[in-house]
Amino acid sequence: MKRILAGVVAAGMVFTSCAAVPSGLVGTGTIPQTLARTNEYDYSRLNEFQTKLWQNMASDKSSALSPLSAYIALAMCASGAEGETLDEFNAVGIGGDEQGLALAALISELTAQPAESESESTTARIDIANSVWVDDSFEVKSEYLQTLTDYFAAEAFNVDLPSSTERINSWIETKTNSHIKDMLSEIPADTLMMLVSTLYLDAEWETKFDSLSTHPGEFYSNSSTRTEDFMHSSGSVRVVDNDDCVGVVLPYLGGRIEFCALMPTDETLTTSQLITRLGGDNSITKLAAEAESERVALALPRFEVETSTSLYDALSSLGLESMFGASADFSGMTDGNISVSEVLQNVYVRVDEEGTEAAAATAVIMCGGLAETEKPREISFDRPFVWAIYDKVSGAILFCGEYN
């Protein structure tokens, strides 16, 4: 394989070209079964990318983002890039054989089904599905399609793309358990190809909140005060506490996937300002890994967030510029002239007493423990905070956001 890149929660790529040639799709491939374990790969480039993307998307508003979904979609795109366009992907940590194998291993482990002796309820459920949609007038290089099928198990469809909006939306909706609906309002007439990748999470808390302990409380947002339903618990919780922030780490069943929520220590500091400080050794996943157990009286709002946003400006700021212009080089995909016109992402997240359910879709559109006797520490998330759901082995952030 020449290059392997990843796709995100739900990713769609639209390719346009002046040429119209017959398409040739390859058969279904298989993700290599001889991959090393995730903890044997270096995920520093993925971790750096997701941190910078989150920092560029920070808004001081309630929002949700899926860095992993975005990374997978862009990686699928980069698999067909050459020249300066490929150099830009590499510069932001996307591309290369080793990175591709690492991503394939991560996807394989995250989506692994529990052993027959285990109950499905003992671990978080994560589904990642990929597909490639090629217009019946367009030709894509078989080597590129083989990479997508081999390493991403992508389903291949040969269709009349401009009239396939409903079909593609239905595919995305099915793969995200009906949480991402009608992502595409329409498919432009010059669209020749789309790459779609979906990510779905359904995870129960290792220790659930008692719904009888949920009751209204005041939440102090940036400009007003409102009433929220707060979930309460008391017991040993891992706590993050430094000069910038204070927060908690809550594991899901299975222990590999965790939730971390952080509030600025300085109440005048906004959530977007806090996110700008969460990088390198101070990243949210590293802070969570260093968290120490304390007895805590915790209050966390039950919340639900839906976000539809463009990643265009953020990706351009990170250095992915040539793919959006006439100088885009995707000759690894096709002999036609194509470029990216937009990158969209839809995300849904619900956090309640039972756990978390979340789904995301990214579309790349292309044209042409303390003693019980000690008083518990009170941590109430009654003002704006940031949160993330991540894989503690690789550091990959599945979902993250702000709550304001």
- Which 3 state secondary structure label does DSSP give 95? coil
Confidence of residue 116 (pLDDT cuts 50, 70, 90): low
- Specify the higher pLDDT residue, 161 or 352: 352
Residue-wise pLDDT tens digits, 37-79: 999 999 999 999 999 999 999 999 999 999 999 999 999 999 9
Confidence of residue 20 (pLDDT cuts 50, 70, 90): very low
* Range list of H helices, 331-375: none
Taking CA atoms, 257 is separated from 39, 124, 200, in Å, by 14, 7, 13
The top-scoring range by mean pLDDT among 34-38, 45-49, 160-164 is 45-49
Note whether 298 and 379 are within 8 A (CB). Answer: yes
Task: Give the Cα separation of 362 and 343 in Å (integer).
Answer: 7
Q: What average pLDDT does range 315-323 have in this prediction?
A: 95
What integer pLDDT is reported at residue 121 of this predicted model? 66
Closest CA to 359 of 309, 403, 398, 387: 398
What integer pLDDT is reported at residue 137 of this predicted model? 82
What integer pLDDT is reported at residue 115 of this predicted model? 60
Strand partners, 156: 132
Give the CA-trace dihedral at 307, 262, 396, 94, to 10 degrees: 70
Task: Give the Cα separation of 145 and 386 in Å (integer).
Answer: 38
Any idea which of 44-53, 86-95, 199-208, 364-373 has the lowest mean pLDDT? 364-373
Note whether 386 and 270 are within 8 A (CB). Answer: no
Task: Give the Cα separation of 135 and 404 in Å (integer).
Answer: 42
Closest CA to 63 of 337, 401, 404: 401
Q: What average pLDDT does range 327-356 have in this prediction?
A: 91
**Chain length of the chain:** 404
Confidence of residue 32 (pLDDT cuts 50, 70, 90): low
Q: What interhelical angle do 142-152 and 97-110 show, nearest 10?
A: 40
Q: What average pLDDT does range 157-163 have in this prediction?
A: 89
Q: At residue 373, does pLDDT exceed 90?
A: no
Task: Give the Cα separation of 12 and 276 in Å (integer).
Answer: 28
What integer pLDDT is reported at residue 172 of this predicted model? 94
Taking CA atoms, 397 is separated from 50, 112, 261, 286, in Å, by 7, 18, 13, 12
Task: Name the residue with tokens 């993330």.
Answer: 388
- Specify the higher pLDDT residue, 243 or 100: 243
Number of neighbouring beta carbons within 10 Å of residue 372: 10
Note whether 379 and 365 are within 8 A (CB). Answer: no
HEC profile of 198-239: EEEEEEEECCCCCHHHCEEEEEECCCCEEEEEEEEEEEEEEE
Task: Give the Cα separation of 42 and 38 in Å (integer).
Answer: 8
Confidence of residue 161 (pLDDT cuts 50, 70, 90): confident
- Specify the higher pLDDT residue, 356 or 19: 356
Share of the chain above pLDDT 70, in %: 88
The one-letter code for the residue type at 192 is L
- Which 3 state secondary structure label does DSSP give 188? coil
* Range list of H helices, 226-359: 271-276, 284-289, 312-318
Any idea which of 92-106, 107-121, 225-239 has the lowest mean pLDDT? 107-121
CA 311 to chain CA mean position, Å: 12
What integer pLDDT is reported at residue 256 of this predicted model? 95
Closest CA to 69 of 165, 198, 161, 181: 198
- Specify the higher pLDDT residue, 6 or 85: 85
- Cα-only R_g, the chain: 21
Q: What average pLDDT does range 178-185 have in this prediction?
A: 95
Confidence of residue 19 (pLDDT cuts 50, 70, 90): very low
Q: What average pLDDT does range 342-358 have in this prediction?
A: 95
- What is the token pair recorded at 312? 């265009």
Q: What average pLDDT does range 221-228 have in this prediction?
A: 89
Strand partners, 231: 300
